[in-house]
Amino acid sequence: MPTCTPFAATDTLSGPARAPQLDVAGDLLTLLRDATTEPRPDNQLEALTLAVAADLPVLLWGEPGIGKTAALTQLAAALDLPLTTVIASVHEPSDFSGLPVIGDDPAEQGVPMAPPDWAVRLVRAGRGLLFLDELSTAPPAVQAALLRLVLERRIGSLQLPPGVRIVAAANPRSSAADGWELSPPLANRFVHLHWTHDHEVVVRGLGGTWPRATLPLLDPERLPEAVDFARRAVCGLLSARPALVHRLPSSETRRGGAWPSPRSWEMTLCLIAFATAAGSSREVLSLLVRGTVGDGPGLELLASLDRMDLPNPETLLADPASAVLPERGDLRQAVLDGVVDAVRKRPEKSRWNAAWEILARAVDTGAPDLVVVPATTLASLRREDWDVPASIEGLAGAVTMSRRADEAAARASVTTKVRR
């Protein structure tokens, strides 16, 4: 019976000697993996590097194949940090809490908890990027063992050095292999960033050029200002909204994400300071804040940040002729409401007249509909012995026109519904 000889064992090719096929394949793979990087605005990448610079644990959420692991590999290379990858789901709890080692006299010296080899290598290096992959497939017992690692950076009796940064990645439970929801104590220790793909970045990257990850450039002269701004922002919001200090979500899924607690507010304060010192954009700050305390509290904080730079109503009332109002409609509305509220708290004729002058200025420089409610409220504050200022006459036409437009829009809406 004839035998079949494998192709790799034959040499039927004539001519000069050829390189082994696996070597040629290796050369081709090298060419395929050859890529460069370029400075390119990337809000996700900037938010990640800011959180890494702030030495806060980061958790990247994204569907399988979205590029989380590739982003971490590129980040470690760009920051010149040795990358240590640990697949959380294939480890036992003792791999993170430490393995008990019996010594000569346990009754006298106790039983030390020996750390795993990868933790020892990190300590010896003194720096590195610890990547905890597949976190959502780790069972509850392993998640419990990770608590001390993520928060205190301790593995058994070993303390990780300050030069080690921690980043994790997870798939949503719906797309994870035998996935679990993250436990609330573990979830509350991370900055949660939802990783999505950018079509242009992917296309350009497959062409050989990926965006470059760089640490943020912090302005040394802005550090005290950045810390003061962050403290005023967080403390101001929590003073006005004490219910936001700690709010554990009711659903299991939301408990496994970002939610407000004293710990996560402390992380938020830190991230605001870093973003301010680095001059980061509003989009980057939004990713970080919402990824730390959740969408609802995060959006409230972002709105309060906008109002922190608004002019003081008392300053406007003292010199209404020089009043400069914000261009954005919601911020302008907040300023006008603040001016009227200031007059209500301390009603005086001069202040009442100054407020009308500010409202008239708002009509001249912006949408008149923003003045309707403040003007109505301000008119109700008039005392009998206060003369009507001349500036009201200029406002009357704009307010009346705005009201008529609103009424016409309401009638049109009712007519449309009736016809349907």
In this structure, what CATH number is given to the domain that contains residue 193?
3.40.50.300
Per the structure, the complete domain to which residue 304 belongs is given by 220-308
Tokens of 304: 């309060």
Q: What is the pLDDT of residue 214?
A: 81
Tokens of 273: 């300071």
Q: What is the pLDDT of residue 406?
A: 46
Q: What is the pLDDT of residue 51?
A: 95
Q: What is the pLDDT of residue 53?
A: 92
For residues 299 and 410, state if they share a domain.
no
pLDDT at 10 over 70: no
How does residue 105 score in pLDDT terms, banded at 50, 70 and 90?
low
Whole-angstrom Cα distance, residue 193 to residue 68? 11
In this structure, is residue 251 part of a structural domain? Answer: yes
| CA pseudo-torsion sign 392, 393, 398, 400 | positive
Partner residues linked to 159 by β-bridges? 154
Q: What is the pLDDT of residue 361?
A: 87
In this structure, is residue 48 part of a structural domain? Answer: yes
Lowest mean pLDDT among 15-29, 296-310, 350-364: 15-29
pLDDT at 420 over 80: no
Q: What is the pLDDT of residue 408?
A: 45
Among 188, 211, 234, residue at a domain's last position? 211
Q: What is the pLDDT of residue 129?
A: 94
For residues 89 and 134, state if they share a domain.
yes
Q: What is the pLDDT of residue 405?
A: 43
Provide the CB-side half-sphere exposure for 122 (13 A, CA): 26
Asked if 156 and 95 touch (Cβ cutoff 8 Å), the reply is no
How does residue 57 score in pLDDT terms, banded at 50, 70 and 90?
very high
Among 254, 287, 308, residue at a domain's last position? 308
Q: What is the pLDDT of residue 401?
A: 46
Q: What is the pLDDT of residue 307?
A: 79
In this structure, is residue 75 part of a structural domain? Answer: yes
Among 273, 308, 343, residue at a domain's last position? 308
**pTM of the complete model:** 0.74
For residues 186 and 93, state if they share a domain.
yes
pLDDT at 174 over 80: no
Query: Between residues 337 and 99, which one has the greater pLDDT?
Result: 337
Whole-angstrom Cα distance, residue 78 to residue 53? 13
For residues 333 and 200, state if they share a domain.
no
For residues 161 and 190, state if they share a domain.
yes
Q: What percent of the chain has pLDDT over 90?
A: 35
- Tell me the three state secondary structure of residue 125: helix
For residues 263 and 177, state if they share a domain.
no
For residues 193 and 230, state if they share a domain.
no
Cα angle, residue 314 at apex, residues 311 and 317 outer, rounded to 5°: 100
In this structure, is residue 264 part of a structural domain? Answer: yes
Asked if 34 and 208 touch (Cβ cutoff 8 Å), the reply is yes
For residues 139 and 174, state if they share a domain.
yes
Asked if 150 and 56 touch (Cβ cutoff 8 Å), the reply is no
How does residue 113 score in pLDDT terms, banded at 50, 70 and 90?
confident
Whole-angstrom Cα distance, residue 67 to residue 198? 11
| CA pseudo-torsion sign 403, 408, 413, 415 | positive
Average predicted confidence (pLDDT) for the chain: 83
In this structure, is residue 262 part of a structural domain? Answer: yes
